């Protein structure tokens, strides 16, 4: 008994999916699993929930729809409610920190992280009659895990006599990962392809590829607007700040003034608009007000230190049971959208405009209706992109990649594609991540171009050369789950408590290994284009493992991933996590003798999983909340994540007594602290040159520190992480930090090789700096620039091992030794 507005009904009928309603519903009724593949804009997200609703799927239980992006979660719930003539009480949304779900909710849109979290308390998802996983082609880590879990939950629900349907919706990309993976679905689910009308789009490449792609995008938009026929423009950039920058610039060039009747103006071909400038509707940039914060934190730090000194006249100790648990222990819905990250370097306003462009702008009377679009934009502002531009004005949307497949903007005729996007890249040592601007994949470029041909033939302008497209753009990026170390994920999955459910213990053997060409893609994502680094095999999957364990997924190695990370690496990650005390052994409940023990997450592991780092460094941070040591460990982790901070001049940083306690990380910490001091005084450049610090590295460390700090505050809200005045480490603190480093690197211990152990006839001098370490036959050596060469301690821990020298003079060396 749905009563739709006739206007909506007409609009719906134009969508290709409407013609397939009967077939779609037949397939859903007859199958537990269904894959719906269709071009963006064909009507999957807005229409299929309505089909299900009308077929009665929401009569006793709810219809669930998951989205990997927050922006789509809100927008699509609103749209579906509107089309159905239902209120937001009935068609609702839920995401972390926000939502309007209630008792009357029938159709529930949510971020994938939210549904994952619900599985922790209700494994069978008994509230739902059908789950739609939307945008599955985006392959977010949470979506991938959801698919693995749902492949097991659906048969369980059937056994309980209350069937659950799973619908996977995807753009027409990489469907084989779902259909040809027999660990995921024993028999491939039926696929329904929605053929949509797509008008031809002419793709234009630039002859040259300029690095200032924002300037190029601006110029291209000006040319389109001043020279080409009517039709909306959609510009793809990488992040929120770039969006605002371009929006401002374009609005200034082609202002829209509310009180002017443009339809008449244009007909009468009046000369240029009057100069009555009106305040532009521009959003302010987020400006960090650091000064106050620093001052406050300095006070807090001073107080904490005073207190600590009084309390610990004796040797201070790190208490292994003292750490904050995040209130929300899940990782649900960590905003992984890249739009809210800031970008740097492109925003100089001093572009000298081409004379011709300036003239064109001057002569153009038609305003440009410029709108921003990105994930964190408020929902009322988001909604504006769906409304037609005011009469006489041309629509121009400046967007991040949310407009690639998540949202379809009507009436776009011209696409301007910078070819860039932001991507999280992970440091292989610490697991710290940073946003990098990278080339989009070829698949993304095609998707973006396609946006120009939704309603009529269109044009796509790629602001880079065809050579770049062929050589620098990968065909497709590997799914997120393979790009980050899995340790963290494993721990989180273990936290979900699914070990009660035997179904997780009976997976068929792992048959889908990563294809060999996968590595190449991963490398490209990391920005390494031409060469494999030697440590690829040692890239730790610990993060993923930890996250999954936190979700209660004990047998991470056997989990039915759509695309599985390397199995051997997963096993090693479990071992490391156990040694770190983040997982512990439980005897398997099954009676079978061949069953291995199960590794489950510990309380510490649960706390550590909240930190966006490789778990060993997460542990360092979790424990360093004690004694107000977070500022130092944050700085340390940031410094350890950046390569080659110091050009080999160890003597620039003379060893004082307590620095030696901490060894190389102590030197690093001191250098960072001192550089920070110099930065506040505006003397960073000089300072870096004088003391042999790489200035770029110092800046990178500062950025990472800020990023880490804000992510830590998500799980430990009152954490003090700023260095403030606490730049110099005192004796007691150095001792505590040394204990912390040991808790994090306790599995990477080495002991000095004694001279009497050296075989007869061997050159003893070669063993001056040599150590034994576990699991390795050959000796390892102190780094030639290690400050500890002055001391040569009996016992050390190291951050990383690496190889130097050519074939016959190959040598294993320890980096960052304490
Ligand atoms: P798909 O999920 O297949 O990519 P959608 O269901 O998102 O497609 O979109 C179908 C159509 O609905 C598109 O043409 C889109 O422009 C339109 N649409 C979606 N949301 C809105 C809205 N809030 N206002 C107007 N049109 C909308
Ligand atoms: Mg969609």
pLDDT in the model for residue 188: 92
Cross-strand bridge partners of residue 192 = 36
Phi, psi of 494, deg, nearest 5: -65, -30
* Of 95, 171, 187, 184, nearest in space to 144 by CA: 184
Q: How far is the CA of 388 from the centre of ligand 1 (A)?
A: 14
Looking from the CA of residue 82, the nearest atom of ligand 1 is: 23
Q: Is the CB of 41 under 6 A from ligand 1?
A: yes
CA of 783: how far to CAs of 32, 638, 648, 800, 804, in Å?
A: 59, 20, 11, 11, 10
How far does CA 469 lie from the centroid of its chain? 24
pLDDT in the model for residue 726: 53
Whether residue 711 contacts residue 673, with contact meaning beta carbons closer than 8 Å, is answered with no
For residue 636, give the H/E element and its range: helix 630-641
Query: Which carries the bigger pLDDT value, residue 75 or residue 658?
Result: 75
User: What residues contact residue 314 under an 8 Å CB cut-off, 6+ apart?
Assistant: none
Q: Check the CA dihedral 209-215-218-224 and report its sign.
A: negative
3-class DSSP state of 810: coil
Confidence of residue 412 (pLDDT cuts 50, 70, 90): very high
pLDDT in the model for residue 343: 37
Which ligand has the minimum distance to the alpha carbon of residue 12? 1
Q: Is the CB of 43 under 6 A from ligand 1?
A: yes
Whether residue 769 contacts residue 640, with contact meaning beta carbons closer than 8 Å, is answered with no
Q: Give percent of the chain with pLDDT exceeding 90.
A: 36
CA–CA separation, 544 and 326 (whole Å): 19
Question: Pocket of ligand 1, candidates 41, 380, 385, 387: which has the most ligand atoms within 8 Å of its Cβ, to mutate?
Answer: 41
Length of the chain, please? 818
Q: Is the pLDDT of residue 465 over 80?
A: yes
Q: For ligand 1, atom 25, which residue shows the shortest CA distance? A: 386
* Of 364, 401, 72, nearest in space to 223 by CA: 364
CA–CA separation, 47 and 79 (whole Å): 10
Q: What is the number of alpha carbons within 13 Å of residue 816 lying toward its C-beta?
A: 23
- Average pLDDT over the chain reads 80
Q: Is the CB of 40 under 6 A from ligand 1?
A: yes
Q: Are strands 368-373 and 394-399 parallel, antiparallel or unpaired?
A: parallel
CA–CA separation, 112 and 672 (whole Å): 39
Each residue's pLDDT tens digit, 18-75: 989 999 999 999 999 999 999 888 999 999 999 999 999 999 999 999 999 888 999 9
Q: For ligand 1, atom 20, which residue shows the shortest CA distance? A: 79
- Indicate the Cα dihedral angle 721, 724, 730, 735, nearest 10°: 10
Q: How far is the CA of 150 from the centre of ligand 2 (A)?
A: 20
For residue 107, give the H/E element and its range: strand 107-111
State the average pLDDT over residues 97-119: 92
Each residue's pLDDT tens digit, 723-735: 765 556 788 888 8
Confidence of residue 85 (pLDDT cuts 50, 70, 90): very high
Q: Is the pLDDT of residue 521 over 60?
A: no
Of 392-401, 655-664, 674-683, highest mean pLDDT: 392-401
Q: Is the pLDDT of residue 631 over 70?
A: yes
Q: How far is the CA of 488 from the centre of ligand 2 (A)?
A: 30
Q: Is the pLDDT of residue 259 over 90?
A: no
pLDDT in the model for residue 509: 25
Q: How far is the CA of 79 from the centre of ligand 1 (A)?
A: 8
Q: Is the pLDDT of residue 496 over 80?
A: no
pTM attached to this predicted model:
0.69
State the average pLDDT over residues 310-333: 62
Q: For ligand 1, atom 15, which residue shows the shortest CA distance? A: 408
Whether residue 784 contacts residue 805, with contact meaning beta carbons closer than 8 Å, is answered with no
3-state secondary structure 453-503: HCCCCEEEEECCCHHHHHHCCCCCCCCHHHHCCEHHHHHHHHCCCHHHCHH
Q: Give percent of the chain with pLDDT exceeding 70.
A: 78
Provide the phi-psi class of 763: left if phi over 0, else alpha when psi is between -120 and 50, else beta.
beta
Q: How far is the CA of 236 from the centre of ligand 1 (A)?
A: 19
Which ligand has the minimum distance to the alpha carbon of residue 39? 1
Whether residue 160 contacts residue 153, with contact meaning beta carbons closer than 8 Å, is answered with no
Query: By CB neighbour count within 10 A (0-12 exposed, 13-18 middle, 19+ buried), where does 580 fall?
Result: buried
Q: How far is the CA of 440 from the centre of ligand 1 (A)?
A: 24
Q: Is the CB of 42 under 6 A from ligand 1?
A: yes
3-class DSSP state of 368: strand
pLDDT in the model for residue 326: 60
3-class DSSP state of 598: strand
Q: Is the CB of 408 under 6 A from ligand 1?
A: yes
CA–CA separation, 800 and 80 (whole Å): 52
Query: By CB neighbour count within 10 A (0-12 exposed, 13-18 middle, 19+ buried), where does 12 fall?
Result: middle
Q: Is the CB of 44 under 6 A from ligand 1?
A: yes
Which ligand has the minimum distance to the alpha carbon of residue 196? 1
For residue 141, give the H/E element and its range: helix 141-159
ipTM of the complex: 0.98
Q: N- to C-terminal Cα distance for the chain?
A: 72
Of 157-166, 289-298, 398-407, highest mean pLDDT: 157-166
Q: Is the CB of 447 under 6 A from ligand 1?
A: no
Q: For ligand 1, atom 18, which residue shows the shortest CA distance? A: 408
Each residue's pLDDT tens digit, 430-444: 767 677 888 998 888
Each residue's pLDDT tens digit, 552-561: 888 888 888 8
Which ligand has the minimum distance to the alpha carbon of residue 133? 2
Looking from the CA of residue 407, the nearest atom of ligand 1 is: 7
Whether residue 106 contacts residue 62, with contact meaning beta carbons closer than 8 Å, is answered with yes
Q: Are strands 598-601 and 583-586 parallel, antiparallel or unpaired?
A: antiparallel
Q: Is the pLDDT of residue 767 over 80?
A: yes
Question: Pocket of ligand 1, candidates 4, 36, 46: which has the most ligand atoms within 8 Å of its Cβ, to mutate?
Answer: 46
Q: Is the CB of 386 under 6 A from ligand 1?
A: yes
Helices (H), 580-625: 603-608, 615-624
Q: How far is the CA of 678 from the centre of ligand 2 (A)?
A: 50
pLDDT in the model for residue 801: 85
Q: For ligand 1, atom 26, which residue shows the shortest CA distance? A: 386
pLDDT in the model for residue 286: 31
DSSP 67-100: ESSHHHHHHHHHHHHHHHT--TTTEEEEETTEE-
Each residue's pLDDT tens digit, 242-252: 999 999 999 99
Each residue's pLDDT tens digit, 572-622: 888 889 999 999 998 876 655 556 778 899 999 988 888 878 889 999 999
Q: How far is the CA of 518 from the centre of ligand 2 (A)?
A: 27
Neighbours of 176 (CB within 10 A): 9
3-class DSSP state of 763: coil
Looking from the CA of residue 40, the nearest atom of ligand 1 is: 4
3-class DSSP state of 234: strand
CA–CA separation, 411 and 400 (whole Å): 18
Each residue's pLDDT tens digit, 772-812: 987 788 899 998 888 898 889 999 999 888 888 766 778 88
Q: Is the CB of 46 under 6 A from ligand 1?
A: yes
Question: Pocket of ligand 1, candidates 43, 232, 407, 412: which has the most ligand atoms within 8 Å of its Cβ, to mutate?
Answer: 43
Looking from the CA of residue 47, the nearest atom of ligand 1 is: 6
Which ligand has the minimum distance to the alpha carbon of residue 36? 1
Weakest mean pLDDT among 203-217, 481-495, 554-568: 481-495
Cross-strand bridge partners of residue 34 = 167
């Amino acid at each position: 008994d749905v009563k739709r507005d006739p206007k909506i009904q007409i609009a719906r009928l134009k969508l290709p999916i409407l013609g397939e309603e009967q077939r779609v519903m037949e397939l859903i009724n007859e199958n537990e699993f269904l894959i719906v593949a269709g071009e963006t804009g064909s009507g999957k997200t807005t229409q299929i929930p309505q089909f299900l609703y009308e077929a009665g799927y929401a009569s006793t239980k709810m219809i669930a729809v998951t989205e990997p992006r927050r922006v789509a979660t809100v927008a699509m719930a609103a749209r579906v409610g509107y089309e159905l003539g239902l209120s937001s009480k009935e068609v609702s949304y839920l995401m972390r920190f926000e939502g309007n779900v209630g008792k009357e909710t029938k159709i529930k849109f949510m971020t994938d992280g939210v549904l994952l979290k619900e599985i922790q308390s209700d494994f069978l998802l008994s509230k739902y009659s059908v789950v739609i996983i939307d945008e599955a082609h985006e392959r977010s880590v949470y979506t991938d895990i959801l698919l693995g879990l749902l492949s097991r939950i659906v048969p369980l629900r059937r056994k309980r006599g209350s069937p659950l349907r799973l619908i996977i919706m995807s753009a027409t990309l990489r469907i084989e990962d779902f259909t040809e993976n027999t660990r995921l679905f024993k028999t491939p689910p039926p696929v329904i392809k929605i053929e949509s009308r797509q008008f031809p789009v002419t793709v234009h490449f630039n002859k040259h590829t300029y690095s200032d792609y924002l300037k190029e995008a601006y110029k291209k938009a000006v040319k389109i607007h001043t020279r080409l026929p009517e039709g909306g423009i959609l510009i793809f950039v990488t992040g929120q700040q770039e969006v605002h920058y371009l929006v401002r610039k374009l609005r200034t060039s082609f202002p829209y003034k509310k009180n002017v009747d443009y339809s008449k103006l244009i007909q009468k071909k009046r000369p240029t608009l009057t100069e009555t400038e009106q305040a532009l509707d521009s959003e302010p940039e987020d400006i960090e007000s650091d000064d106050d914060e620093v001052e406050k934190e300095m006070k807090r730090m001073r107080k904490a230190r005073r207190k600590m000194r009084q309390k610990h006249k004796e040797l201070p100790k790190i208490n292994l049971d003292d750490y904050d648990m995040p209130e929300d222990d899940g990782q649900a819905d960590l905003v992984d959208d890249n739009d809210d990250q800031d970008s740097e370097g492109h925003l100089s306003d001093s572009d000298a405009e081409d004379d011709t462009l300036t003239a064109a702008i001057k002569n153009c009377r038609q305003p440009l209706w410029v709108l921003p679009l990105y994930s964190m934009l408020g929902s009322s502002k988001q909604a504006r992109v769906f409304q037609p531009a005011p009469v006489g004005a041309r629509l121009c949307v400046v967007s991040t990649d949310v407009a690639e497949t998540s949202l379809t903007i009507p009436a776009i005729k011209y696409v301007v594609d910078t070819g860039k996007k932001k991507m999280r890249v992970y440091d292989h040592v610490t697991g710290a991540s940073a946003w990098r601007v990278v080339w989009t994949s070829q698949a993304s470029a095609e998707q973006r171009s396609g946006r120009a041909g939704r309603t009529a033939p269109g044009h796509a302008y790629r602001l880079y050369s065809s050579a770049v497209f062929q050589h620098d753009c990968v065909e497709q990026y590997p799914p997120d789950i393979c790009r980050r170390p899995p340790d963290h994920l494993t721990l989180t999955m273990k936290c979900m408590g699914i070990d009660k459910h035997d179904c997780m213990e009976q997976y068929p053997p792992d048959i889908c290994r990563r294809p060999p060409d996968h590595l190449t893609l991963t490398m490209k994502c990391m920005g390494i284009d031409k060469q494999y680094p030697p440590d690829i095999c040692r890239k730790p999957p610990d993060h993923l493992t930890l996250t999954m364990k936190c979700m209660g997924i004990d047998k991470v190695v056997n989990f039915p991933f759509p695309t599985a990370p390397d199995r051997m690496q997963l096993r090693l990650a479990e071992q490391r996590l156990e040694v770190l005390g983040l997982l512990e052994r439980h005897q398997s409940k099954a009676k079978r003798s061949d069953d291995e023990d199960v590794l489950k997450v510990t309380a510490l592991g649960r706390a550590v999983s909240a930190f966006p780092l490789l778990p060993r460094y997460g542990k360092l941070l979790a424990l360093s909340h004690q004694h107000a040591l977070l500022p130092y460990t944050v700085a340390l982790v940031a410094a350890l994540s950046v390569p080659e901070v110091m050009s080999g001049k160890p003597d620039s940083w003379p060893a004082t007594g307590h620095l030696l306690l901490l060894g190389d990380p102590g030197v690093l910490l001191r250098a960072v602290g001192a550089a920070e001091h110099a930065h506040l005084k505006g003397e960073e450049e000089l300072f870096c040159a004088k003391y042999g610090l790489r200035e770029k590295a110092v800046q990178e460390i500062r950025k990472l520190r800020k990023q880490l700090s804000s992510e830590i505050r998500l799980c430990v809200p009152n954490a003090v992480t700023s260095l403030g005045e606490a730049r110099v480490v005192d004796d007691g603190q150095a001792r505590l930090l040394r204990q912390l480093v040991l808790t994090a690197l306790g599995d990477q211990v080495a002991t000095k090789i004694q001279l009497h152990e050296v075989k007869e006839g061997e050159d003893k001098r070669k063993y001056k700096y040599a150590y034994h370490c576990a699991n390795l036959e050959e000796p390892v050596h102190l780094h030639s620039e290690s400050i500890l060469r002055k001391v040569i301690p009996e016992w050390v821990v190291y951050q990383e091992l690496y190889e130097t020298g050519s074939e016959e003079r190959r040598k294993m060396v320890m980096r960052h030794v304490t």
